[in-house]
């Protein structure tokens, strides 16, 4: 006998993600999920974002990147509570890992939570965490064809940072071509060309982040 099921296997994770979101909402915490390839600049963007906000906003970070084990220390050096998730070599964070991380934080005393996902352009797109915004960091050395190779990642984010603009001249990176691919999938996506090294473009990103936190839920 055949029994029809028609269920998405990822729905269990989606439900947990929704419960994470409720927890953040109840505590008044705005959550941001940062995704990128390894080395694109996730940790650099976190420290650049935290730096001017210290004292102004109560921030915490959750770090799941496996590429550099020192990431959590780099963030914690700014005096921000940081939970390092031991992913055990996993290729993404999932909602259950985030749920455990949330339990280690004093959410009622926080306003902003930044999550550094595992460096990967495929798996994190499939696993919602329950954050309010998803941000993708692309970087110039990765090449301008990534929006055409990873459509599921590029279509699902709320903002896109193009990092390492300081080295643009050294690469055959066509910014127009890159953006055409982004716009085809995700028209009107907030786009921030940036250099975490020089600080170029950071002000617009920080203004966006501030405005989005005021707007709250999606």
Partner 1 sequence: MHEFSITQNLLEIALRHAEKAGAHHITRLNLVVGELSSVIDESVQFYWDIVARDTLAEGSELCFERVPGSLRCLGCSNVFSLNGRDYACPACGENQVVVAGGDEFRLESIEVE
Ligand X SMILES: Nc1nc2c(ncn2[C@@H]2O[C@H](COP(=O)(O)OP(=O)(O)O)[C@@H](O)[C@H]2O)c(=O)[nH]1
CA separation, residue 20 to residues 31, 63, 95, 132, 172 (Å): 10, 16, 7, 10, 41
Secondary structure of residue 19 in the 3-state scheme: helix
Sheet architecture: strand order including 82-84? 82-84, 59-63, 112-116, 30-36, 133-139, 159-163, 190-193
x-marked contacts with Mg ion along 47-66 as a string, rule CB under 5 A? ------------------x-
The item of partner 1, ligand X, Mg ion, none sharing an interface with residue 184, based on CB under 5 to 8 Å by kind, is: partner 1
Q: Is 89 in the site for partner 1 (CB under 8 A)?
A: yes
Read off the DSSP letter of residue 107: G
d(CA 8, CA 92): 19
Query: β-strands 190-193, 159-163: how paired?
Result: parallel
Strand partners, 33: 115, 134
x-marked contacts with ligand X along 114-143 as a string, rule CB under 6 A? -----x------------------------
Q: Which of 27, 57, 76, 91 binds partner 1 (CB under 8 A)?
A: 91
Question: What angle is formed at CA 74 by the lines to CA 72 and CA 78, rounded to 5 degrees?
Answer: 105
Q: Which of 13, 33, 37, 43 binds Mg ion (CB under 5 A)?
A: 43
x-marked contacts with ligand X along 65-94 as a string, rule CB under 6 A? x-xx--x-----------------------
Pick 75 or 101: Cβ nearer partner 1: 101
Q: Is 5 in the site for partner 1 (CB under 8 A)?
A: yes
CA proximity to 34, closest of 19, 50, 46, 48: 46
x-marked contacts with ligand X along 173-202 as a string, rule CB under 6 A? ----------------------xxx-----
Q: Which of 76, 107, 123, 168 binds partner 1 (CB under 8 A)?
A: 123
- Per CB under 6 A, residues contacting ligand X are 36, 38-44, 65, 67-68, 71, 119, 163-164, 166-167, 195-197
């Amino acid at each position: 006998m055949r029994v029809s099921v028609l269920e998405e296997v990822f729905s269990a994770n989606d439900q947990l993600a929704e419960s994470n979101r409720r927890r953040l909402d109840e505590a008044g915490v705005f959550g941001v999920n940062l995704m990128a390839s390894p080395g694109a600049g996730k940790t650099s963007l976190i420290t650049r974002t935290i730096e001017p906000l210290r004292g102004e906003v109560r921030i915490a970070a959750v770090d799941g990147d496996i590429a550099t084990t020192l990431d959590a220390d780099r963030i914690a050096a700014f005096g921000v509570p940081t939970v390092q998730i031991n992913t055990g070599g996993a290729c993404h964070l999932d909602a259950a890992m985030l749920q455990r991380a949330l339990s280690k934080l004093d959410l009622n005393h926080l306003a902003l939570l930044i999550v550094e996902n595992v460096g990967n352009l495929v798996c994190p797109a499939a696993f919602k965490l329950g954050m309010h915004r998803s941000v993708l960091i692309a970087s110039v050395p990765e090449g301008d064809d990534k929006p055409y190779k990873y459509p599921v990642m590029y279509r699902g984010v709320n903002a896109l940072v193009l990092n390492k603009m300081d080295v643009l001249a050294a690469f055959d990176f066509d910014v127009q071509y890159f953006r055409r691919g982004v716009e085809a999938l995700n028209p009107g996506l907030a786009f921030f060309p940036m250099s975490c090294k020089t600080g170029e473009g950071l002000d617009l990103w920080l203004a966006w982040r501030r405005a989005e936190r005021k707007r709250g839920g999606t």
